[in-house]
Structure 1
Amino acid sequence: MSSQNQEPQFIYDAYISFGLQLLHPFISGLYDALKSVGLHVLADRTEPKTNISDAIERCRVSIIVFRIAYAESTLYLQELVKIMECHRRKVQKVVPVFYCLDPSEVCNLSGHFGEILSRTLQGISRDENRMLSYGTALRQAASILPRFLPDIW
């Protein structure tokens, strides 16, 4: 049996992808709430020795907290591409959360979010495939209907 057909070996219940600022009150509150009900949660850089790409593969659910800051770093956009790749393979559920951000700005790559994303992508403008993958992943994630967390587990 190929490794793609095997059931993944989950080591985390959830991964919280949020861009910069781990100590943001919303992020820390979400992290604490999930931990308090006994979930094993990885929140971006909470475990510095962890290979994030591998860890994303080993999560049941990715919670993507879209904020303006999410568009400020290609690192987080690369993580999003990985998350959506796992989602497409039906290995992982994805829950988009839009914090102080209109979902249409992410879906359409417009508004203030789109402006910041454009500035971020200027540095990689020669890598058209990577730019396209970021835009595709953002649109796909933003188009997922948000769910209530209890419906996932």
Structure 2
Amino acid sequence: MASSSVPKYEVFLSSSSKDADNFSYLLHKGLEDKGILTLRGNQEVEGGGTASLDVIRQSWSAIVIISPDYASSPWLLQQLVQILQANNLYGMKVLPVFHLVNPSDVRHQRGTIGESLKKHVQYQVEEINRWRQALATVANFSGWNTGDAKDQTRVIKEIEEYVLKRIPRSSEEKCQKDKEDVGRHWKLKLNHRINNLPDLEKLAPSPPPLVGIRRIRLLVTCPHPQPLPPPPPPRQ
């Protein structure tokens, strides 16, 4: 976690803008819609510039989206190193998402991950070895795998629920969230009962025969005329 009891950001999002930008955007939007304060790694921060170690360690968690193009960016690899440093120093949660890559390939730097690392010939061996170690380490964290669009939607929902249940909240925020959860529970329960009400038309009794109605109407509207009584005789 961040060095202070209340982190400035609840989620720090690290991803490649080339092959994971759409997934990262949807995840970022989903988290923000849930009220989770999220900062994307390539997003400009307060005071100018992008994320540094000082910004990363102010976050409660880091979601690292490892995609095939992730290792082609020295900037992202250095960001991953900083995230793992924050995990070691401050206990920040690290949540990897293996987007269109196999975690085993990330751990052993095979496939596109390994090919990307080989292209960083301008960097010193010590730096590249540090990046390799970071990739191997993040691959050992529990996380999520994504495949097609349907699978990505499921993963985004699972991440939202996971973070919501675990982020630290103040007592006031927790009380408000509990109220919202209770209200949502009873609303769902009420909707369920309304949707399962019996069909009143099927329960209504059948109307009486038409003949009976006609007879009643005849008795009420067409009574048989009665003769008037004779007037009393005059008094003597």
TM-score (norm 2): 0.57
User: Contact 1:68–1:112 at 8 Å: present in 2 too?
Assistant: yes
- Post-superposition, which runs of at least 4 consecutive aligned residues in structure 1 deviate over 4 A? none
Unaligned runs of 5+ in 2: 145-157, 168-236
Residues 49-93 of structure 1, C-alpha deviations (whole Å, 9 max, x = no match): 244112111110000000011111110000000000111224300
Once the two structures are overlaid, the 10-residue window that deviates more, 83-92 or 143-152, is 143-152
Partner of 2:172: none
RCO comparison, higher one (Cα < 8 Å, 6+): 1
User: Contact 1:8–1:91 at 8 Å: present in 2 too?
Assistant: no
Superposed, 1:59-98 pairs within 5 Å as 59-98=59-98
Mapped partners of 1:142, 1:103: distance in 2? 6
What SS does the aligned partner of 1:98 have?
A: strand
Superposed, 1:1-150 pairs within 5 Å as 7=4, 10-21=7-18, 24-47=21-44, 49-53=48-52, 54-119=54-119, 121-124=120-123, 127-146=124-143, 149=159, 150=162
Q: When you count helix as a share of all residues, which structure comes out higher?
A: 2
Partner of 1:3: none
What SS does the aligned partner of 1:64 have?
A: strand
Mapped partners of 1:46, 1:87: distance in 2? 21
Q: When you count strand as a share of all residues, which structure comes out higher?
A: 1
User: Contact 1:15–1:42 at 8 Å: present in 2 too?
Assistant: yes
Mapped partners of 1:23, 1:116: distance in 2? 16
Counterpart of 1:62, as a letter, is A
Counterpart of 2:114, as a letter, is G
TM-score (norm 1): 0.85
User: Contact 1:105–1:111 at 8 Å: present in 2 too?
Assistant: yes
Mapped partners of 2:97, 2:20: distance in 1? 17
Structure 1 residue 129: Cα displacement: 1.9
Unaligned runs of 5+ in 1: 1-5
